[in-house]
Amino acid sequence: MKYITLNNAVEIPIVGCGTNTYGKVGNQYSGALRGDTQEIDWAIENGYRHFDSAQLYNNEEVVGNGLKKSNLPREDFFITTKLNTFQGFAGADWAHAEIEKSLEKLQTDYIDLFLIHKPWDHDAEILEAWSILEDYYNRGVFKSIGVSNFEKDHLDLLLENGDIKPAANQIKSQVGNWNDELIAYNEKNGIATVAWSPLRGIDENAKQVLEEIGNQYGKTYAQVVLRYQFERDVIVIPKSHNKDRQAESLNIFDFELSANERERIAAL
């Protein structure tokens, strides 16, 4: 596994495992929990140690149960989760309660990377939420803190008013929308980029180009996409309900794209 060193010297595996439909009936985002940890079990067996979760997914306990069941030491894993701010911010007491629920569901006394999941239209509240994350960070409960879906103006708010710089910004970056400008802004400010759903957006035309490139290396189109992100230091969190495809997403470190190939991918 390759790692990215965050701005506070914490190392994060550059390939993680998305989990938002794991352990759910029909593998559906809104599905009820099945009561098993099959996908997490496969991912651990395949070699994943970085797991991306969120309160919004309503399945943090699936991740927690799976990691616990593995009997591997907690420190072997890198766990990300996120404060559910899709409906805004309901105050400090609410935030503390939700954070404690996450710790309980994940069966851990610390989180490796804790994110604000989405910005909302209230700067003072965003800063209050960030201050709460900073407090947990200063107490060692969060090993690193960051944000998700934040644009430049939201990042500026934290950079100008917060005490701790975000370690990561988890954003959309995929075929058809690489989000180069925001990634460059993240990099300029020492903020790592994490790409959610990195394998979406691939239409038939893009797939044909990616397969043509991949055939030269014995790689799939998905592996080419992940390799492209890796080569520009973007952390990826692909997700699959198929054990073999999970393994494929980790097998991207034994080939290198040419400059021309990177240009072709960037143009997709």
Contact 167, 113 (CB under 8 A): yes
Q: Three-state SS string across the chain, please? A: CCEEECCCCCEEECECEECCCCCEHHHCCCCCECCCCHHHHHHHHHCCCEEECCHHHCCHHHHHHHHHHCCCCHHHCEEEEEECCCCCCCCHHHHHHHHHHHHHHCCCCCECEEEECCCCCCHHHHHHHHHHHHHHHHCCCECCEEEECCCHHHHHHHHHHCCCCCCEEEEECECCECCHHHHHHHHHCCCEEEEECCCCCCCHHHHHHHHHHHHCCCCCHHHHHHHHHHHCCCEECCCCCCHHHHHHHHCCCCCCCCHHHHHHHHCC
How far does Cα 65 stand from its chain's mean position?
Answer: 19
Q: Which residue has the tokens 């914490």?
A: 10
* Residue 3 annotated among the catalytic residues of the structure: no
Q: Taking the alpha carbons of 32, 16, 68, 143 in that order, is the dihedral positive or negative? A: negative
Task: Indicate which residue of 57, 137, 221, 228 is catalytic.
Answer: 57
Residues with catalytic roles? 57
